Every structure is written in structure tokens, then in C-alpha cells.
Amino acid sequence: MNFDRDLDRSTVNRSSSRVKVLRRSVLLLGGVAVAAALYLAWYMYGGWPVPNGYSFPRHSMLGGPQALYVGTLEDVGGCIRAAGDESFAVVWPPGYRLSVEGGAPVLHGGSRDVGMGEPVRMGGGYYEDGRPPPGTRDVGSCAPPFFLSTGLTD
């Protein structure tokens, strides 16, 4: 009779331990999911601070127009523009940032660092109607026309 009582207790203890492990696992996965969501929100909508005196328009779209721009970047009054036959204020995708190194702006993104005047290729689309592309933020001193960049290409 005592044996049965001990057996019942050990079964209850094992079940209780399994429930505790399951609860911890669910809490851990929930915490990881929340952390991932916060990081993604920061990556898409937050971003790095823009150096003083510069405007760095951004958008939060993944993908977009597929035109190809080939040329260089230039700093025009604190706005980074695509320079070529025409000049376009670039609206940058998530994950891109601007810094100032040695007194000159440097673009970081797409696993590259690009200084002003260096050759670039990037996907995107032209917006020549005078308005920033939908979802653009932080336009600052940048004036139309705009190029909505989907990122640098090789």
C-alpha cells in the first residue's frame, strides 16, 4: 500500500516538473519573440542618428521599384544626392546609415561603405512629381526630385 502512494507521488512530481519546464520554455520563446519584434521595429522605423547638419531621408519598405541607378553620390547642402545627368535626393531603405568620417559624409549599408564621389549602383525608382515617395520620413533639407533606393548592388 505504501508503495502505491510513493508511486503516485513520483508521478505527480514528474508531471509537475514537466509543466514547469513547459512554462519556462513558453516564457523564453515569448521573450525571444518580443525581443525580435522590437529589433525589427527599430531596424525598420528607428535607425541610427543622423549627424548634425545632414538630412538622411528613409523609408521602411522592403523591396520597391526596380530601376537601376549608376553614378556617384554627392553632398549638396547636407543632403546626400545621386549625382549624374540629373541629381536626385536619395530616400534610403532600412539598415542604411550616414556617418561623418574625416569631415566627409560616408554611407554605410548593403555591407559597403561609400564616400562621396565614389561609384555606386543601386536599385530603386524615380519620383519626379515634387513629393517624397510614400512612407518617407526625415526629409529635412532634401528637395525634389527623389530616388527611392532599394539598396546598393554590386
pLDDT, mean of residues 70-84: 93
User: What pLDDT, in 10s, does the model give residues 95-150?
Assistant: 899 999 999 999 998 889 999 999 999 999 988 888 888 888 888 999 999 999 99
Peptide bond into 51 cis (omega under 30): no
Q: Which of 64, 86, 93 is nearest to 144 (CA)?
A: 86
Residues 44-64 have a mean pLDDT of 77
Q: What is the DSSP code (8-state) at residue 94?
A: T
Given a cut of 90, is residue 77 above it in pLDDT? yes
How far is 67 from 29, CA to CA, in rounded Å?
40
Predicted local distance difference test score (pLDDT) of residue 148: 92
Domain boundaries of the chain, sorted by first residue: 1-46, 67-152
- 41 pLDDT band, cuts 50/70/90, is low
| DSSP code of residue 62 | S
Residues in the chain: 154
At 50 the three-state DSSP class reads coil
Distance CA 118, CA 107 (A): 11
Q: What CATH code is assigned to 67-152?
A: 2.40.50
Measured CA to CA, the distance from residue 28 to residue 106 in angstroms comes to 39
Q: Which amino acid is at 12?
A: V
